[in-house]
A and B are shown apart, each in its own frame.
Chain A
């Protein structure tokens, strides 16, 4: 098994990692030279290019993956399970990996390749099994099916329980503008590639895509948690470049984080403390650096009632609440702070249906009077389709499609864009972006 997140001891050398658990011994002590020899031998046998003496922390991601595979092979593995092995690799590394895996296949190993990237599956695999919601949806030989058919099996029929939002066909002025934004992480992997779009007041733009295709990075850039290396983001015409998270929030951006227990709240603190986190320093919640406990308690009580949060009392720790109620606390905070742009990243993931539909209603209300706009990032297709006015599809850190009118696209078509089966070319995207915005302005000017 090769995990998506590497299980390696960074401080040790390649050889030490490979033999870990079955170390060669000499006189009862670890024999490093022997470990190097064994590693070199196995690597050569499988034609992997590795230096056993370097430390793992100095290796590139591609090499780390090879070490993981080598670890399994050394233990005589006949079946290799690879969980999203290409997620962290550059295109060149992917090609190299496939070459090596094909060699392993030819040597008689079985490879189980877990992936959501259809093109890779098509290019590399012999047979497939499609899992949907914990069940086998389809299995068969790759040769017998087209990429299109596989994509349909993966998406399935989405049972749309959520109410469809009425497309108002009318937008307010532009509030958020993202122009040519790129982002490279510390490991030097490019995670976002010249992203451009605009968001108008009263509009909900859905960002569809399989998780890990740059959506989190996009939300981090807009909210100031990460810094973009290229391009610009403006709110109401003012650039957010170089501004702190607090300053950006004060400009009217709020954010529902995708990981609610890590970024969205502080588990040990009370509902009250969690609710006021974005406004405690403002009037009337505090005066001269002193918290105004009375006002805070009253306001929080009011919000708890308005957002139908069920909790024993507002002073109890937020970790005592259910996931749905915790999310409602976060939503209550982020929606009532006077924001003009809400970046809602997976706002209903992992919570009960009741809470989810409540949050959907709130999202719709936010935009009802053309005062605020929502960027809805979600891996849930039915959510995207029922809530959005327009849809952006992200694949591999790029916008692969821009759908101007969400009601004119089917789930299957959207799925094909998400899985990279179909892709709009850049001129089409630019055209769509352009016409959408001019339409928006035209309606306003009328």
Chain B
């Protein structure tokens, strides 16, 4: 009985775990069919990411941008808006930060001040990216999903513009920016890997977002507006302000993510296509039901899957892309609101019956 009650309370989590397990089973079955040596492929996929120190830290590195974008999406979804600008904001902030870091910032500048300043710039650029669709939405009732998808293309092309015309290094054969000043970069923290201090910033961002949403009055207004805007209006909350604030913050989290990614992992700015981190962030935010404190967990899972798939792609006969099937199954099951709903109903009835008796 106590168990049933606890199960009911954490039902969302149970749902996600079930979805992940089903997705995992699905991926393994898929491997059986597409690989000539399925056992090897499965082993590589499941255990590969843990087989060396470098690979393990690859997971953590990949986690960092995912944590930022999923936190950004948590903010957007908390206020009830499918604002997808996180994708473009991440990339564009990265471009602007790289441009500043490769032109304005000189190697002589103090090592801690420069990255801090640049991350603040990234946050501002991201916030701007988030506010534009929010304003279009509240002023003109423009559909946020449509405009942010379009804005994402504009921001991707704007980033490429910055790369080509403001900071391109013509001495290298590929399309890349000038070198980012050493002083602006985030330090590596573990020798032999490219693990950088961004992981701490991500950790702080998780704590901050959790604190903001759950413990501040503004965060409360955001939650109330997101969950029932009519109720929020009825108790006297300025819903317009709450919507703009949440989307600005969501954008700035993405912006910080872009800055941290560029300053932590890259010598030059190289992105010419959308990174996809924003959309993965959306998936993660949906999976954790907009709860920021859970994002690192699921971000780790997604990063692990991606790294595993990368290893499978390079060492076996299975293409990397098969991991997308896995991710899609999980998202499909979690997004399908009726998945496991009958079990939830039965549990709820059982619990309330028992309560009525005792």
Contacts and interface: CB of A to CB of B under 8 A. Distances in A.
B220 A273 contact: yes
A290 B215 contact: yes
Contact of B234 (A244, A255, A269, A290): A255
Contact of A289 (B216, B227, B232): B216
Nearest to A334: B235
Interface string A269-304: 100010011101100001001110100000000000
Contacts of A281: 217
Nearest to B229: A266
B224 interface: yes
B240 to A, nearest CB: 11
A266 B227 CA distance: 6
Contact of A245 (B214, B216, B233): B233
Given A245-B234, A278-B235, A278-B236, A291 B228 contact: no
B218 interface: yes
A265 B231 contact: yes
A264 interface: yes
Given A269-B227, A273-B223, A277-B224, A225 B217 contact: no
Given A225-B233, A257-B234, A263-B231, A269 B355 contact: no
Interface in B314-358: 348, 355
Contact of B231 (A248, A266, A291, A320): A266
Contact of A280 (B220, B228, B348): B220
A290 B217 contact: yes
Interface in A296-330: 312, 316, 320
Interface string B222-259: 01100110111111111000000000000000000000
Contacts of A269: 223-224, 227-228
B9 interface: yes
Given A262-B230, A263-B230, A312-B355, A291 B220 contact: yes
Given A273-B220, A290-B215, A262 B235 contact: no
B227 A268 contact: yes
B217 A245 contact: no
A299 to B, nearest CB: 15
Summarize B's interface: helix, strand, loop or mixed: helix
A89 interface: no
Contact of B215 (A257, A262, A293): A293
Residue of A223, A255, A269, A276 most packed against chain B (CB within 10 A): A269
Nearest to A277: B235
Contacts of B214: 291
Contacts of B348: 320
Contacts of B215: 290-291, 293
A247 B214 CA distance: 25
A280 B233 CA distance: 14
B226 to A, nearest CB: 9
Interface residues of A, number: 33
A422 to B, nearest CB: 35
B14 to A, nearest CB: 16
A331 to B, nearest CB: 14
A266 B234 CA distance: 11
Contact of B236 (A249, A257, A266, A316): A249
Given A246-B237, A249-B235, A266-B231, A289 B224 contact: no
Nearest to B225: A266
B236 A244 contact: yes
B9 A316 contact: yes
Given A280-B217, A286-B217, A225 B234 contact: yes
Interface string A216-252: 0000000111000000000000000000111111000
A117 B146 CA distance: 47
A267 interface: yes
B217 A266 contact: no
Interface in A97-126: none
Contact of B224 (A224, A264, A266, A312): A266
Contacts of B237: 246
A267 B9 contact: no
B341 to A, nearest CB: 14
B217 A291 contact: yes
A281 B215 CA distance: 12
Contacts of A316: 9
Interface in A351-395: none
Nearest to A316: B9
Residue of B227, B235, B236, B237 most packed against chain A (CB within 10 A): B235
Interface string B199-217: 0000000000000001111
A290 B228 CA distance: 22
Contacts of B227: 266-269
Contacts of B235: 245, 249, 277-278
Contacts of B228: 262, 265-269
A419 B63 CA distance: 68
Contacts of B236: 224, 244-249, 278
A290 B212 CA distance: 9
Contacts of A320: 348
Contacts of B238: 244, 246
Nearest to B235: A277
Contacts of B230: 262-263
A244 B240 CA distance: 13
A268 B80 CA distance: 13
Nearest to A315: B9
Nearest to A286: B217
Nearest to A220: B234
A281 to B, nearest CB: 5
A323 B291 CA distance: 28
A377 to B, nearest CB: 16
Given A246-B237, A273-B223, A277-B224, A264 B231 contact: yes
Residue of B9, B218, B236 most packed against chain A (CB within 10 A): B236
Contacts of B9: 316
B5 to A, nearest CB: 8
B71 to A, nearest CB: 20
A249 to B, nearest CB: 5
A9 to B, nearest CB: 20
Nearest to A267: B228
Contacts of A280: 217, 220
B215 to A, nearest CB: 5
A291 B233 contact: no
Nearest to B348: A320
A224 B235 CA distance: 10
A264 to B, nearest CB: 7
B218 A289 contact: yes
Interface of A: 223-225, 244-249, 255, 257, 262-269, 273, 276-278, 280-281, 286, 289-291, 293, 312, 316, 320
Given A266-B227, A312-B355, 14 more contacts: A245-B235, A248-B236, A255-B234, A264-B234, A266-B224, A273-B224, A276-B220, A278-B235, A278-B236, A289-B216, A290-B216, A291-B216, A316-B9, A320-B348
Interface of B: 5, 9, 214-218, 220, 223-224, 227-228, 230-238, 348, 355
The 6 closest A-B pairs by CB, nearest first: A246-B236, A266-B228, A245-B236, A277-B235, A266-B227, A263-B234
6 contacts: A247-B236, A249-B236, A257-B234, A267-B227, A290-B216, A291-B216
